[in-house]
Copies of this chain bind each other. A is one copy, B any other.
Amino acid sequence: MQSILDEIDATIGASSDRGEVASYIPQLAEVDPRRFGIAVNLADGRCFSAGDAALPFSIQSVSKVFTFTMALERLGDAIWSRVGREPSGDPFNSIVQLEHERGKPRNPFINAGAITIADALISDCRPHPALQQILRFVRRLADDASIDIDAKVAQSEKQSGDRNASLAHFIASFGNLENPAATVLDTYFNHCSIAMSCEQLARAGRFLASDGVITPGEERIVSAQQARRINSLMLMCGHYDGSGEFAYRVGLPGKSGVGGGILAIAPGRASIAVWSPGLDRIGNSKLGTQALELLVKRTGWSIFGH
């Protein structure tokens, strides 16, 4: 495995077309596009990594996997009265569909859906603040108390967050928010600003590769069925309008973030995190996707055949 990761690191390092780094906030725009990290946690507990795998980056929408897991664990199937579980089509559609479906987001991984999930957690986490519980949950999954929110990123997100504010008020206008839009947005912007390294992220994803438990025989996060279902949602909806492309090329459940990170799951085999800041046209990590494609080719981990 280590030689595979080193080889991928070398191949990606030699790539000249690295995509475009997100530019809507300075903290993301200033990240060096040549960064690349990859970390693999096998189901048997062994860990491997290469490149900048120990360097923290802004996990952004990857955090939605963790907030959704919390919501599913706490609220069970009741969460489906608040969000759907179908892919959303292209970004153009997101607000169209939100109107068409009367304020119920298509799935928990588009922004509108994650905002609704944040609202559900706020209501459910009372009297303790949802944000602290989210952070505590991620630290527990990754077994690392040092993980934290990047306050500067959160501040910038808030300042440039008109599109998300629009979505939150739109959802609220249909009666699908229980808390004020401003409160919900604050929680949402903050959990998107969690900083983690590939190594931390791969550890945090272990429970999805091991049927809901962090380490076989040990503490259970969600039921085996719930773990499978989170994986199915990641596959169907984890890369926005590039979800079909990712499933076609990589063949693993995965969730991307605009910071260039991707968490991918090979069920029963491994939890994988990659990071390359340059994005493709749709907003998914360009070389991160390519690295996962190489990894799956070498390991035969595709869920669609071997």
Contact = CB atoms under 8 A, between A and B. Distances in A.
A245 interface: yes
A173 B99 CA distance: 18
A181 B162 contact: yes
A302 interface: yes
A231 B248 CA distance: 9
A284 to B, nearest CB: 13
Interface residues of A, number: 54
Contacts of A99: 92, 95-96
Interface string A89-127: 110110111011000001100000000000000000000
A303 interface: yes
Contact of A233 (B92, B237, B244): B244
Contact of A304 (B86, B165, B229, B242): B229
A251 B236 contact: no
Given A305-B211, A306-B268, A244 B169 contact: no
A87 B236 contact: yes
A268 B268 CA distance: 15
A107 B243 CA distance: 12
Contact of A303 (B87, B167, B245, B304): B304
A241 B107 CA distance: 12
A247 interface: yes
Contacts of A228: 251, 302, 304-305
Nearest to A242: B86
Given A86-B245, A243-B86, A304 B232 contact: yes
A87 B87 contact: yes
Question: Of residues A84, A166, A267, which shows the largest number of chain B Cβ atoms within 10 Å of its Cβ?
Answer: A166
Interface in A231-290: 231-233, 235-237, 241-245, 247-248, 251, 253, 267-268
B173 A253 contact: no
Listed residue (A163, A166, A302, A305) with the most chain B CB atoms within 10 angstroms of its CB: A305
Contacts of A106: 89
A4 interface: no
Interface of A: 84-90, 92-93, 95-97, 99-100, 106-107, 162-163, 165-170, 172-173, 181, 211, 224, 227-229, 231-233, 235-237, 241-245, 247-248, 251, 253, 267-268, 302-306
22 contacts: A86-B87, A86-B90, A87-B87, A87-B244, A89-B106, A96-B96, A96-B99, A162-B170, A162-B181, A165-B181, A166-B170, A170-B170, A211-B305, A224-B305, A227-B304, A228-B251, A228-B302, A232-B248, A233-B248, A253-B304, A267-B304, A267-B306
Nearest 10 interchain pairs by C-beta: A89-B89, A166-B169, A86-B244, A162-B173, A87-B87, A166-B170, A231-B304, A163-B173, A228-B304, A165-B169
